[in-house]
Amino acid sequence: MNKKILFIFLYIFTLLPQAISASLLIGDKPSPALVQVFNILGIKTDGTAQTLNKIAQKDFLRKSGQERWEMGKKYEDKRDQLLPVFKELGVIDVVWPSAQQYQHIIIHGSTVTGMRQRLAFLNVLWNQGIRGENIVFFVGERSLDPKKESREILFHQKFSDIPFREGWQLPKKMPKTEADAAVLLWDQIISNEDLRIKNVLFIRVPMIRFSETGKLRRAQTKDTIEAWLDKSPISGKCLAISNNPYIPYQHQTMLKTLGERNCDRQLQVETVGAAADTDISVAVHLDNIARWLYTELQMP
């Protein structure tokens, strides 16, 4: 059992509410932990947030069209030095909800493995009495990856750290997209009967075409949030489920998008999720920090 799954099952025995308070900026200056990341990597800067962001977008951000698992092992030799700093930044540990009742519970889409982890986390929360009036699943219509999201990985328990629901049966056809897989995984992973009977709103966002090049890209966090807000007026307390190291970035993206749509006063958001897997590469951590820093710098 990996570290993330252990954290999830420990939750059955203890509830440790935490709030997202991590930030890469203190006012308009980079936090000491963020500066330390660049120092450990041996990257010289003038210490301003704008310069750090410029370097991060150039050196840390994955290439357009590249998935996280396709990134190399750059800076992996700095892992032992960086992990304590990543922990200080809030991208390592589990994050629990601070309340029991929410108007909306959102599951952020991901890879098949990531969505299983997030649904398992929801199972645990529901079993502990945490409730949401509405269940919303943010997903994109990207094609499934033939290696990371194959028929075997989708359908067979031996390829999943998350237990399948007792009695789950193979579907008649293979899902083709992340959105299709999300529907399958809800049935496969959600075991609490009270939760299973809830109507789930799947926000399915199609591939998005770059106007300059005509190339397609998959929907990102901001795209799915905007698609949800376009559905109808939304208000109340919202619990979003992600998993680390992506919790602070996705939380910041939600806050920014709500602010842009003038929804930040009527919708209060909290983002939670399981701890980061121990095998996540340094490159993926840095890519996530680059996205988080860019988003935070756009906040008013």
Q: pLDDT of 235-252, one tens digit each?
A: 999 999 999 999 999 999
Within 10 Å of residue 129's Cβ, how many Cβ atoms? 9
| Model pLDDT, residue 215 | 85
Show the 3-state SS of 209-274: ECCCCCCEECCCHHHHHHHHHHHCCCCEEEEEEEECCCHHHHHHHHHHHHHHCCCCCCEEEEEEEE
Question: Residue 119 in contact with residue 189, Cβ under 8 Å?
Answer: yes
pLDDT higher than 50, residue 259: yes
| Model pLDDT, residue 16 | 45
Model pLDDT for residues 92-130, shown as the tens digit of each residue: 999 999 999 999 999 999 999 999 999 999 999 999 999
Question: Residue 255 in contact with residue 299, Cβ under 8 Å?
Answer: yes
Local confidence band at 18 (pLDDT 50, 70, 90 cut-offs): low
* 244 alpha carbon, distance to own chain's centre: 7
Calculated CA dihedral for residues 26, 280, 110, 263, nearest 10 degrees? -10
Q: Positive or negative CA dihedral for 11, 91, 159, 146?
A: positive
Model pLDDT for residues 47-94, shown as the tens digit of each residue: 999 999 999 999 999 887 777 777 888 999 999 999 999 999 999 999
Helix (H, G, I), strand (E, B) or coil at 122: helix
How far, in Å, CA of 287 to CA of 62, rounded? 6
How far, in Å, CA of 243 to CA of 93, rounded? 9
The residue extents of the domains of the chain are 3-16+95-276
Question: Residue 241 in contact with residue 121, Cβ under 8 Å?
Answer: yes
CATH code reported for the domain at 3-16+95-276: 3.40.50.620
Range of weakest confidence among 9-18, 25-34, 199-208, 290-299: 9-18
What the block records as the tokens of 2 is: 């990996």
